[in-house]
Structure 1
Amino acid sequence: MILDNRGLEPPQPMMRTLATLETLKENETLTIFNDRRPMFLYEQLEELGYKQKTEEQKDGSFKIEIFR
């Protein structure tokens, strides 16, 4: 599942991501693209039991893969 949050102002990217995670099935990965590194999202993911892998893109945006 892919969610492109680029172009959105905070807190919209985090709200969209958390809402989408509620629909994620077991063993699925959510890949999001954000304009900035989602520092506050990392705390929420940890509390909810998710892991993440963040990779900065050449254009300065961030690709974050979220999984259990």
Structure 2
Amino acid sequence: MWPNMFGERVGPLTTEREHMTSNHQPTEQTTALISETGAPDDAPVKRLDVQSLGPPKPLKQTLELLADLDDDTVLVQFNDRAPQHLYPKLEDRGYDFESVEAEDATVTVIWHR
């Protein structure tokens, strides 16, 4: 969470309990989402929630995080829409990806080829 202009804490945490356990392992929900894609299901997982951010912050945060992750890590990005502008950038950088619709978000699973 982060403070808004009034000093109140707003926004989602990137390690919400319903998606990640206390040791940052994917929960059954995240594992089920990954299994719907061609991503490796035995790789380490990092979750990024950008649902409340306006453009271009989701694109920027995703690309910056991918640059910092190990090649074998799968990134699971939760967004309020399909990140159409992100797809060509991922392809250019050697990533595979698939987006799946969850009940409250569009989930894009990203992994290195």
Once the two structures are aligned, what percentage of the paired residues are identical? 37
Correspondence for 1:42:
87
Instruction: Kindly name which structure, 1 or 2, has the bigger radius of gyration based on alpha carbons.
Output: 2
Q: Deviations over 1:12-33 (max 9, x none)?
A: 0000000000111021101100
* RMSD over equivalenced CA pairs, Å: 0.7
The answer to which structure, 1 or 2, has the higher relative contact order (CA under 8 A, 6+ apart) is 1
Q: Could you tell me how far 1:53 is from its partner in structure 2?
A: 1.4
Instruction: Tell me, in whole angstroms, the C-alpha distance in 1 between the residues paired with 2:89 and 2:80.
Output: 18
TM-score, length-scaled by structure 2 = 0.57
Aligned length: 67
1:38 partner SS: coil
Q: Does the alignment pair 1:4 with 2:49?
A: yes
Instruction: Tell me, in whole angstroms, the C-alpha distance in 1 between the residues paired with 2:102 and 2:75.
Output: 17
Structure 2 unaligned residues grouped into runs of 5+: 1-45
Correspondence for 2:107:
63
Give 1 or 2: higher helix fraction.
1
TM-score, length-scaled by structure 1 = 0.93
